[in-house]
Structure 1
Amino acid sequence: MMEGTGFLPAILVIVSSGTFIINYVIAIIKGHIDVIFPYISDTGTTPPESCIFGLMTSITAMAGVATMYARYKFIERLIERTGGARPMLNKIALGFGLLSCLGMNIVATFQETVETYVHDAGALLFFVTGVVYIVLQTWISWQAFPYGSTRAVCRTRSLISCVAVLALFPTVICAILVGKSDDIRWKGDEKNYGFHLASAVCEWTVAFSFIFYFFTYIREFTLFTMTVKAELVEQN
């Protein structure tokens, strides 16, 4: 049995990875996408996978909000007891994390082929603020060290953050160079296929960087619990 609040990041990791993998497999079986590195959104464009993509992405966003808030409260209590990390940095990180979850909800609600510009804006919000979030959390981990996280965890988070940052730029830049395309099936001889492939590979890299990053939360979350306290307001 998992102790503390370790189930929160565990659920987030399972649901998010399931969202990517399940939709990819279904889209391949149905013949809706190419096998070699489609965009993540391409795997959730056509029914029935579009329905699963929207549902699981929304659940992932909710799990992300819960996990990020729990992390915020953990760091807040850690700061009270040990100092180290800055309270304002903890609040800023939470803000960026919640924005990334909002971007994820926009991606789930506005499909790529229906509302392209809104979908792309949501994806940009999700990826950019998500990367900023994990960079800030890595900074917080090092500030709070040796409390909360081990040196190995801090180094792992630093590595994942570096990979995400390096992959983010070609994801966005190459996607802009590709431009808008009504066809999600790429044959390989198109003019901008190289940009598409680079953007898609880097997009998957950033996405799984998030998954591996939240995986590092699981052991840490077993060290604390959270309770909800309800208080009745006296009315005259």
Structure 2
Amino acid sequence: MFWLRQGVCFLPVFLVIWSSCTFIISYLIALFRHDVDIVPYISDTGANPPESCIFGLMTFISACAGTATIYARYKFVEKLTEETGLVRPCLNKVTLCFGMLSCLGMCIVATFQETAVTPVHDLGALMFFVSGIVYMIFQSVISFRAYPYGSSKYVCQARLVVAIIAAVALFPTVICAFFVTQTTLHRHAEDKDYPFYVASAVSEWIVAFSFVCFFLTYIDDFKMFTLKVTTECAEQR
């Protein structure tokens, strides 16, 4: 476990493990309690207590870990920019903003449950997915521009592939959701909108775990740097 203490790689490691556990644990509890079917929306697994409490808490912690990881990545790219000039500072800042918006969307999803305040929950989910995908695309561009500094060529390509998969999966997630007329947690194959429901739900899971896979590629990069907090006291006159 020595590699876990190198740099700040513990940030993406924790984010990947915790986020995966958030999705899986809430899903298993909801499935065990027969609150959802085999293929639910992610938010359906956190609609009823007690899984809703666990889902909300764990999702909020994931958002905080994501914020820390995204900011650390921003500072790392900023340092590379100062030394190499390969990445434009404005691109790095815009990418940071989209990453923070995605984390804010995750907080909204965790706070406003699907069955309680549906419009706000859906807005948070859309903010989370769209901003997150834009963040991944911009980070892929940054990775290629910063090459050979930072990530290897294979990691850059992996990030681009994951970002494309997430972007492609977002379309059926949103489009098929418009054809889903029922909002109940339990669905039947005889329902007319059932194929759209399954396609939208499966695509949503693909997008979510694409985020997990993307942050997994940060681990090697985060071994190469550390962050320090400095305190400066203003002189009193």
Give the TM-score, by structure 2 length.
Answer: 0.97
Residue 175 of structure 1, CA deviation: 1.0
Q: What residue number does 2:99 align with?
A: 97
Distance in 2, Cα, partners of 1:235 & 1:162: 54
SS of 1:124's equivalent? helix
Question: Residues 40-97 of structure 1: CA distance to partner in whole angstroms, max 9, x if unpaired?
Answer: 0000011110000000000000000000000000000001111211111100000000
Distance in 1, Cα, partners of 2:11 & 2:230: 19
Give, as a single letter, the amino acid of the residue that structure 1 aligns with 2:153.
R
Give, as a single letter, the amino acid of the residue that structure 1 aligns with 2:105.
G
Q: Is 1:176 aligned with 2:178?
A: yes
Q: Is 1:5 aligned with 2:8?
A: yes
Q: What residue number does 2:234 align with?
A: 233
Q: What residue number does 2:116 align with?
A: 114
Distance in 1, Cα, partners of 2:236 & 2:68: 32
Distance in 1, Cα, partners of 2:196 & 2:23: 21
Q: What residue number does 1:29 align with?
A: 32
Distance in 1, Cα, partners of 2:202 & 2:183: 20
Q: What residue number does 1:128 align with?
A: 130
Q: Is 1:189 aligned with 2:229?
A: no
Residue 178 of structure 1, CA deviation: 1.2
Distance in 1, Cα, partners of 2:179 & 2:147: 42
Query: C-alpha root-mean-square deviation of aligned residues, in Å?
Result: 0.8
Residue 206 of structure 1, CA deviation: 0.4
Residue 187 of structure 1, CA deviation: 1.4
CA contact 1:113–1:182 (8 Å) conserved in 2:
no
Residue 157 of structure 1, CA deviation: 0.6
CA contact 1:79–1:86 (8 Å) conserved in 2:
yes
CA contact 1:103–1:125 (8 Å) conserved in 2:
yes
Tell me, which stretches of 5 or more residues in structure 1 are unaligned?
A: none
Distance in 2, Cα, partners of 1:182 & 1:174: 13
CA contact 1:33–1:184 (8 Å) conserved in 2:
yes
Distance in 2, Cα, partners of 1:120 & 1:177: 15
Distance in 2, Cα, partners of 1:32 & 1:91: 42
CA contact 1:96–1:132 (8 Å) conserved in 2:
yes
Give the TM-score, by structure 1 length.
Answer: 0.97
Give, as a single letter, the amino acid of the residue that structure 2 aligns with 1:33.
V
Identity, % of aligned pairs?
A: 57
SS of 1:177's equivalent? coil
